[in-house]
Structure 1
Amino acid sequence: MSDTLLTSLFPEGNHNNAQTAEYLTKLGTYKIKNLKNEPDRLKQEANVIQEQIQELAISNYKTFIETALCSRELFFKFGVIEEKVNDLLEDVPKFEEICDKFATESSEINDLRRTDSTTLAKSAQILEILEIPQLMNSFIRDGLYEDALELCNYVRKLYLKHNDVPIFKTINDDVNKAWILMLHQLLSQLRQDLSLPKCLQIVGHLRRMEIFSEPELRLKFLQARSHWLEQQLTAISKDDLLVHLTKTIEITRVNLFNILTQYTAIFNDDEHSPLGVSQIKSTNPNVIFKSWIQHQISSFLITLDRDLSGGNSLEGIFDQCMYFGYSFSKVGCDFRPWMVPIFTKHIYLNFSNLIASADNNFTKNIEKFTLIDKKTSSIPWKHNKGDELRPPDSLLEFYPLAEYTNNILNALNQLRLRPPVALVTEVVETLETSMTLIAKSLRKLYSQEQQAFSVNSKDAFTRLCMCFSDDLLPFIQKTIHIIFPPSHLATKLGVSVKVLQEEGISFFNKDVVIAPISHLLPTNAEPNITAESS
């Protein structure tokens, strides 16, 4: 019954479609109300689909037009192809004529065959010539530079003799490429650690290659050895500046001396002029090397200046550098005078930094120090004069002055290791400025606490000022003269000690130092410091 109904509804047999069957199954589950509404729903769905079809046609009308145009163009191209085929059929007879001509000319191949036979008979000799570039590369790869040089000369002579033969030109070009490779290989070997015989051998090969002129060869040699030296210096760790500087001095000294020895042995000039860097002449054949050694020494001095800025101990470094300069004085290249200003600068910087630290410590201590309710001290007023290097005992009563004295002595002890005479004025001025600052701090202490001073406090402050003026100042003056003896300075300057005193060289100006507290000192407590020192 159901099959009959389906056949009557779908006479074309579409009810066997899976979608149709699924829809009918779903339709069978509908209620009467849903079945009544189903035609309207299907009609609405059909309208929606119709609208979508129209929108699709509108949105893709260009595609339809392009399809039509494409079809028309294809039809036109087929017509063109048909015409080309007709032309090809017309050219076939001409092609046949050409084939006949080729057959005629192929007879010449016999001549070429005879030539090939001759070539085959001489193949061994030809193969030897063709393998020359490979043999050249093999010589260079194995380091057989003598054989490579001889082979290159042979190829060049062969090319000059048969320059009209293309194969010889090709072989000569290949050998020249290997020639350049050998040049780079030799130059790269100069950038390595080499002994003197090896250097002589490499430079000998470069001379025979005749690529560089003599000045260019010298320059290339120095550039390569500079690269080796820079590699050694770059490999030094910079974590510790003292270790870095020590190793830099040693490596620079050893390698520069080796390079100098190699250079003088390889480039032995007729005129043996000294290698002094301050006497460079443009006519001197050694001008290249002199400029190079000057550059290397300048680079070393820059490194020395930079690493000394880290506050390293100058004593050991100074001895190493002086030995470095002395060793080069044997070859006329003494650069020790160039190092003196560098060490002088850093000695003074270290000294001034220590003095500045002493000033800061005294400023902090004096801010905490008070003389209010100060009792009479039991410390002896004058120290034992049997030991002139011992600080005055009276400083023990006032710990800011005592600590300041210790810091000053620490700075002077470091200066005493290598005291440059050229710094005597700067040292005295620095100490004079520092002690003037101390006097101002004492005046500030008095202005802050004078209203609360008792009789004992006033006496203690007077002792403090007198200790600074009559004990500390002469003692520091005495230590300066121990480091820079006036007699020694007078001898160096060619004047008398009296002239030094009059000019204030190595002598403090006491009036300037104690000026801030001069009104707080007893009138009979200002002895002449220069007279005591002399």
Structure 2
Amino acid sequence: MIGRRPPPPTPRAGRGIMETERAERPLSRGPEAPPPGDHRAGRWRPLAARPPARSLARPAGRRAGVRAAMAALSASAPRTRTTTAAAAALGEVEDEGLLACLFRERLWEGGAWERASVAGYLRELSGWGLERLGREPERLAEEREQLGRRTRALACTNYKTFIRGADCTNRIHRLFAHVEASLGRILLRLPAFQRACRNFVKDAEEIGSSRRMNNLTLNRHTEILEILEIPQLMDTCVRNGYYEEALELAAYVRRLERKYSAIPVIQGIVNEVRQSTQLMLSQLIQQLRTSIQLPACLRVIGYLRRMDVFTEAELRIKFLQARDAWLRAILTAVPGDDPYFHITKTIEACRVHLFDVITQYRAIFSDEDPLAPPAAGQRPVNERAIFHGWVLQKVSQFLRALEDDLRRGVGGRLDSLLGQCMYFGLSFSRVGADFRGQLAPVFQRVALGAFGKAVDEAVEKFRDEMNSYTLISAPSVPGGGVPPGPPGTQPGTLQPPMVLLDFPPLACFLNNILLSFNDLRLCCPVALAQDVTVSLEDALVKVTKIILAFHRAEEAAFSSREQELFVQFCTIFLEDLVPYLNRCLQVLFPPAQIAQTLGIPPTQLSKYGNLGHVNVSVVQELLASVLPKKETVFPPDEKELLRELPVASSELPEREQTLESAGRPSLESVEDKTAREEEEEEPLQADPSAGPG
């Protein structure tokens, strides 16, 4: 029977009632429960569901175990009542907590249904009496034995089914293993397959988009073809000169570019059209470099403005550059072998073509100030200065070419060139570019240079003749065999002294000087009076020094007759040749005209130096050492010359002295004398070997 058990140990501090019950659980594991660590069962099952095989193997032991369990349950009854009382005091205790205290971890190995069955069975046990509890183990053993027999009978009856089930289980296990391996391989290949699917979807989308684009292209084939043919059409229009249509196409392409600049085909069309536009620009500018008339110029400039390539100032510069290139080509084509022919053709070409260019420019471009102010950040451009600067450049180039050709020498046709240049400047005065005032210095320099060169040559020839001259060849009576003047001399004609024929070097020198005077009178402005006088005075000083050098070289061998002839030589040079040259200068540069130019009375002209006459005292001082000390007869002074000037001027032919009227001064007496000498073959000098230069 059930003996008295010792009282339960007092719970330690920190533990609850459930822990105490769990620590002093009286139930021991019977043969029905699997040992710890045995995983064959895997779950805690209720007693009714246990397989009966193990119970049948050792029934006696199992009965003993059941009895021991019942005894344990009986012995634990007071403890259970104590626990129940404690639970009542603390509140109702959950069945799950009670089961956990009794069976610890064994209960929780089963499922929720098994835990519910055990809990229900335990509740039934708690409501039974002691007698029934005593019979319960036997009933359970019988029920277990009965279930075992039924199970064995079922196993014997359906063993083939169990075998097939086991085979099926093995086969299913193998199939599941194969499926698992295949599934692993599939999982390994899924990323690549996923990427391939994505690529396929992408390609399919692209193909679909291309197909839709192709359908759209097919529907818009005509419009697209017209757009694609724009570059070819543009090139055809430009090469055939249809600039109006070409400009319309260029404007249409610019609109396309603004709308569809991101499309590569449109960009290609725009680039090709730009190349054709550049070709059209070159052709238009090339037309300006040809002989083009004003209407064509207006059309070309209109096209250039519509192209919107240049600003207004740049367009003016381009026009002037193109026309200047055409003008330079014309001037370059003029042959330059003959200076006179070259400068005359240059004057004609510049007068005609340059005037046309100026007319075209003024018809195309306006010199009025622009109405709209310049944009912010832009510097204002003086467009009028562009044209005036170009005209100034062209005039400067013409003056340089004129001076170069005049320096090369144009013979005795300087007056003809002066007249052409004056007419050229007069025609330009109608367009506000009168440059006649700039022609005067050019012709003055050329005339003065030619005169100085001729005077230097006369001095050198005099030097050469004096080197070979001897006083023995002079006649016994100076001027005795020569009449005082040729017959038929016109009144007012300036005759050279006939006494110079007795001394050929002096006659030759005078002839050369008269030739230079005749060349100078073709273009003899009053401004050259001082320069010509100084040049002639320097030449007379050089001649005087040559005479003195001749005297020093020949003085030791002079006879009395030669000494007398030398004195006559010097006297004629001083008293006849020099005064005659002064009279020639007064014919070239009348003192009255010089005084009028200076704005002073003629009586005050002597205050301004030797204007228009040589200072005789300079030559006299040089010859004072070789001339005898005697009273020298000098020509009348300036006052007497000025008093006689109106009479002399009335005897001279009228002439113009200004460059503007293109008149030329006259020395008709000297020129007629030279012409008569050439016709009658009467040289001035007595010595035939010493002819006029």
Q: What's the TM-score, normalizing by structure 1?
A: 0.75
Distance 1:487 1:515 in 2: 29
Distance 1:95 1:261 in 2: 83
Over residues 32-62 of structure 1, what are the superposed CA-to-partner deviations in whole Å (9 max), with x where a residue is unaligned? xxxxxxxxxxxxxxxxxxxxxxxxxxxxxxx
Using a 3 Å threshold, how does the CA distance of structure 1 residues 434 and 163 change in structure 2: closer, same or farther? closer
Q: Of 320, 340, 346, which aligns to 2:440? A: 340
Offset of residue 99 of structure 1:
9.4
Maintained 8 Å contact 1:136/1:178: yes
Distance 2:201 2:263 in 1: 30
Which residue is 2:469 aligned to? 369
Which residue is 1:518 aligned to? 624
Maintained 8 Å contact 1:149/1:209: yes
> Is the partner of 1:193 in helix, strand or coil?
coil
Distance 1:107 1:415 in 2: 102
Offset of residue 147 of structure 1:
0.5
Which residue is 2:327 aligned to? 229
Using a 3 Å threshold, how does the CA distance of structure 1 residues 95 and 391 change in structure 2: closer, same or farther? farther
Offset of residue 492 of structure 1:
1.3
> Is the partner of 1:286 in helix, strand or coil?
helix
Offset of residue 518 of structure 1:
2.1
Distance 2:381 2:305 in 1: 23
Spell out the pairing of 1:56-67 with structure 2 (5 A cutoff). none
| Gap regions ≥5 residues in structure 2 | 1-190, 371-379, 643-693
Distance 1:455 1:104 in 2: 138
> Is the partner of 2:516 in helix, strand or coil?
helix
Q: Of 373, 390, 409, which aligns to 2:495? A: 390
Distance 1:213 1:101 in 2: 57
Spell out the pairing of 1:6-155 with structure 2 (5 A cutoff). 109=207, 112-113=210-211, 115-155=213-253
Offset of residue 271 of structure 1:
6.5
Q: Of 542, 551, 575, which aligns to 1:446? A: 551
Q: Does 1:268 align with 2:381?
A: no
Q: Of 344, 347, 356, which aligns to 2:456? A: 356
Q: Does 1:489 align with 2:587?
A: no
Offset of residue 453 of structure 1:
2.8
Offset of residue 214 of structure 1:
1.0
Maintained 8 Å contact 1:374/1:456: no
One-letter code aligned to 2:230: I
Using a 3 Å threshold, how does the CA distance of structure 1 residues 369 and 123 change in structure 2: closer, same or farther? same
> Is the partner of 2:625 in helix, strand or coil?
helix
Offset of residue 133 of structure 1:
1.0
Spell out the pairing of 1:180-191 with structure 2 (5 A cutoff). 180-191=278-289
> Is the partner of 1:376 in helix, strand or coil?
coil
Offset of residue 439 of structure 1:
1.8
Maintained 8 Å contact 1:196/1:262: yes
Which residue is 1:61 aligned to? none
Q: Of 498, 501, 510, which aligns to 1:405? A: 510
Distance 2:475 2:316 in 1: 82
Maintained 8 Å contact 2:459/2:539: yes
Maintained 8 Å contact 1:477/1:533: no
Distance 1:466 1:446 in 2: 14
Distance 1:120 1:488 in 2: 96
- When structure 1 is superposed on structure 2, of 375-384 and 114-123 the one drifting more is 375-384
Using a 3 Å threshold, how does the CA distance of structure 1 residues 255 and 176 change in structure 2: closer, same or farther? same
Maintained 8 Å contact 2:253/2:270: yes
Q: Does 1:244 align with 2:350?
A: no
Distance 2:369 2:204 in 1: 76
Which residue is 2:76 aligned to? none
Using a 3 Å threshold, how does the CA distance of structure 1 residues 336 and 283 change in structure 2: closer, same or farther? farther
- When structure 1 is superposed on structure 2, of 409-418 and 488-497 the one drifting more is 488-497
Q: Does 1:431 align with 2:536?
A: yes
- When structure 1 is superposed on structure 2, of 405-414 and 435-444 the one drifting more is 435-444
Spell out the pairing of 1:311-322 with structure 2 (5 A cutoff). 311-313=409-411, 314-322=414-422
Offset of residue 256 of structure 1:
1.2
Offset of residue 507 of structure 1:
2.1
Q: Does 1:327 align with 2:432?
A: no
Offset of residue 242 of structure 1:
1.9
Distance 1:443 1:300 in 2: 48
Distance 1:374 1:335 in 2: 55
Offset of residue 117 of structure 1:
4.1
Distance 2:338 2:613 in 1: 39
Distance 1:375 1:297 in 2: 59
Distance 1:270 1:283 in 2: 13
Offset of residue 178 of structure 1:
1.9
Distance 1:166 1:417 in 2: 76
Offset of residue 451 of structure 1:
3.1
Offset of residue 454 of structure 1:
2.9
| Gap regions ≥5 residues in structure 1 | 1-93, 273-281
> Is the partner of 2:277 in helix, strand or coil?
helix
Offset of residue 517 of structure 1:
1.4
Length, aligned pairs only = 434
Distance 1:463 1:475 in 2: 17
Maintained 8 Å contact 2:339/2:409: no
Maintained 8 Å contact 2:475/2:502: no
Maintained 8 Å contact 1:375/1:456: no
Spell out the pairing of 1:273-284 with structure 2 (5 A cutoff). none
Spell out the pairing of 1:128-207 with structure 2 (5 A cutoff). 128-207=226-305
Using a 3 Å threshold, how does the CA distance of structure 1 residues 111 and 413 change in structure 2: closer, same or farther? closer
Over residues 420-467 of structure 1, what are the superposed CA-to-partner deviations in whole Å (9 max), with x where a residue is unaligned? 111101111111111122222222222222333333322222221121
Offset of residue 225 of structure 1:
1.0
Q: Does 1:464 align with 2:569?
A: yes
Distance 2:473 2:201 in 1: 137
Q: What's the TM-score, normalizing by structure 2?
A: 0.58
Over residues 69-91 of structure 1, what are the superposed CA-to-partner deviations in whole Å (9 max), with x where a residue is unaligned? xxxxxxxxxxxxxxxxxxxxxxx
Offset of residue 323 of structure 1:
0.9
Quick one: percent identity of the two aligned structures?
39
Distance 1:330 1:231 in 2: 25
Using a 3 Å threshold, how does the CA distance of structure 1 residues 434 and 104 change in structure 2: closer, same or farther? closer
Distance 1:121 1:298 in 2: 68
Q: Does 1:504 align with 2:610?
A: yes
> Which has more radius of gyration?
2
Distance 1:117 1:388 in 2: 109
Offset of residue 97 of structure 1:
11
Bigger fraction of residues in helix = 1
Maintained 8 Å contact 1:325/1:335: yes
RMSD (Å), alpha carbons: 2.9
Maintained 8 Å contact 1:501/1:530: no
